[in-house]
């Protein structure tokens, strides 16, 4: 049905263009991840809960509580911002 006949030498250009597009996508993905706190090392503490207190050092447990409070604060801010955006859309 589709019979594309490229002369010799075109394959490298297709690979170069494809590789360039992949690199551009990676850069945009890393930029998005950096802006959205995807490289936060403290995220590992969110797998714990209050029942893990006896399994953790006091410093780790304190860090867990601090990280959890910060994540809850960020979530409330995000939800408030989304609610404001929704209210603006409905008002317009």
Say yes or no: 25 and 66 in one domain. no
Residue 2 has pLDDT above 70, yes or no: no
Say yes or no: 49 and 91 in one domain. yes
Q: Are 88 and 63 in contact (CB under 8 A)?
A: no
Q: How far apart are the first and last CA of the chain?
A: 51
**pLDDT one-digit tens code per residue, 16-43:** 999 999 999 999 999 999 998 888 888 7
**pLDDT one-digit tens code per residue, 76-89:** 999 999 999 999 98
The pTM assigned to this predicted structure is 0.56
Least confident of 1-5, 11-15, 64-68, 85-89: 1-5
Number of domains within the chain = 2
Which are the contacts of 32, defined by CB distance < 8 A and separation ≥ 6?
Answer: 38
Say yes or no: 76 and 57 in one domain. yes
Alpha-helical runs (H) found in 1-92? 10-35, 58-91
Say yes or no: 64 and 85 in one domain. yes
Say yes or no: 32 and 73 in one domain. no
Report the 10 Å Cβ neighbour count for 45: 20
């Amino acid at each position: 049905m589709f019979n594309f006949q490229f002369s010799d030498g075109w394959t490298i250009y297709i690979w170069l263009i494809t590789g360039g597009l992949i690199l551009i996508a990676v850069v945009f993905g890393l930029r998005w991840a950096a802006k959205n706190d995807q490289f936060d090392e403290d995220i590992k503490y969110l797998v714990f809960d209050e029942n893990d207190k006896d399994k953790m050092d006091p410093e780790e447990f304190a860090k867990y509580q601090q990280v959890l409070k910060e994540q809850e604060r960020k979530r409330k801010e995000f939800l408030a911002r989304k609610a404001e955006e929704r209210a603006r859309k409905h008002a317009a």
